[in-house]
Amino acid sequence: MSPTPADKPRGVSRRAMLAGLAAALTAGCGKLAFMAANVSAAFGAYRRHADIAYGTHPRHRLDVYVPDSAAGATRTAAGETASGASRPMVVFWHGGRWSFGDKAKYRFVGAALAELGYVAVLPNYRLYPEVKLAGFMDDAARAGRWAAAHAALYGADADRLYLMGHSAGAHLAALVTLDPRYFAADGGAPHIAGVIGLSGPYDFLPLKEADVQDMFGPPQNYPQSQPINFVRPDAPPMLLIHGSKDEVVMPKNSVNLAASLHALGVPVSLKLYPNLLHADTVAAISLPARGRAPTLADIAAFVRQPRSS
């Protein structure tokens, strides 16, 4: 299987398009904020392979962002690139309360990760109320397995696979990693080098909202939705980032998960950004808002750390 035709933005001055966008993004103005982030991201040194199918459902589509320096690499019969590239691959799931959101709004994340030299994979997944916990977690496992199986095709190393997400997407990344049932049902777990969670819900019982109760119910199943309940000594290293002023997903989610991982000897780095809100941790990945928080620098430092095979 070869990559789909890539799109590459051209033309308008990057500096001109950046003017005035930072204020809109950091203010979190909904569609305007995404526009601010993604207009600037359109000028990165990467190739984007869009809407690749990883399953049969219309939401089973993903985008792959490949750094320009890796885009021309050729694959050998052994599955290695001619350039000898061994790039990390990062799978990023968007947030949206498990019920809305789209990968297209997060082009700025794919562009920023490619800027670091990573191959980035941004999947969509089925949403509530069409599916509940088992459905979107099955999609997370499918996308993770697809990424590992296709890493070499895009110049990445399947043994340097990182799972990442914001908000509900961070929940997917953590739970699919910690609860072995999901990858087992999809044919076995890939090697996961690390997990990166931005503003994620990991320890959020009791469930108070009716829609969340429904998507994670019946009540006897609520504990199965909590990543903290599946912490184990052989879990991969984790980077947990949270804004201290987050009132959507309370910072205790990251604090508690970090403490549980640390107690079992799992390498974990907890970053609590002062005065930042729920969306600020991911917004700071974008070029206009990068000065708000060191999200991208902390991700780069985490991925640079040596990992045991």
- Per the CB < 8 A criterion, the answer to whether 45 and 115 are in contact is yes
Report pLDDT for 163. 98
Token digits of residue 48: 């984007």
> At what angle are helices 107-115 and 31-41 packed, to 10 degrees?
30
Examine residue 185 and state whether it is found in any structural domain, yes or no: yes
Is the residue at 235 inside a domain? yes
CATH number reported for the structural domain that contains residue 171 in this entry = 3.40.50.1820
Residue 19, domain member (yes or no): no
Residue 31 tokens, joined? 């569609």
Predicted confidence at residue 39, as pLDDT, reads: 72
Query: Which among 117, 122, 123 is positioned nearest to 160, based on CA atoms?
Result: 117
For the record, the structure tokens of 94 come out as 């968007």
In a domain, 39, yes or no: no
User: What CA–CA distances, in Å, run from 191 to 145, 237, 309?
Assistant: 10, 12, 9
* Total domains present in the chain: 1
Phi, psi angle pair for 53, to nearest 5°: -80, 135
CB-CB contact of 281 with 241 (8 Å):
yes
Q: Where in the sequence is the domain holding 193, given as residue range(s)?
A: 44-74+84-304
The pLDDT score that the predictor gives to residue 44 is 79
Kind and range of the H or E element at 275?
A: none
The count of other CB atoms within 10 Å of the CB of residue 138 is 18
pLDDT value of residue 31: 62
What number of other Cβ atoms are within 10 A of residue 45's Cβ? 12
C-alpha distances in Å from residue 163, one per residue of 92, 109, 152, 177, 186: 6, 13, 17, 8, 16
pLDDT (0 to 100) of residue 40: 65
Question: Cα separation of 261 and 235, whole Å?
Answer: 8
Strands 192-198 and 238-243: parallel
The answer to whether 47 touches 57, Cβ cutoff 8 Å, is no
- DSSP letters of 115-152? HTT-EEEEE----TTTS-HHHHHHHHHHHHHHHHHHTG
Say if 108 falls within a structural domain: yes
Its pTM stands at 0.86
Q: Are 176 and 140 in contact (CB under 8 A)?
A: yes
91 found inside a domain: yes
81 phi and psi angles, rounded to 5 deg: -85, 150
Q: Does residue 150 form part of some domain?
A: yes
What does each of the 309 residues of the chain score in pLDDT, given as a tens digit?
A: 434 434 444 434 444 333 344 444 444 445 656 666 777 677 778 999 999 999 999 999 999 999 997 654 433 333 334 344 589 999 999 999 999 999 999 999 999 999 999 999 999 999 999 999 999 999 999 999 999 999 999 999 999 999 999 999 999 999 999 999 999 986 789 999 999 999 999 999 999 999 999 999 999 999 999 999 999 999 999 999 999 999 999 999 999 999 999 999 999 999 999 999 999 999 999 998 999 999 999 999 999 998 765
Instruction: Determine how many CB atoms are found less than 10 A away from the CB of residue 151.
Output: 23
Angle among Cα 150, 152, 155 to the nearest 5 degrees reads 120
pLDDT at 187: 76
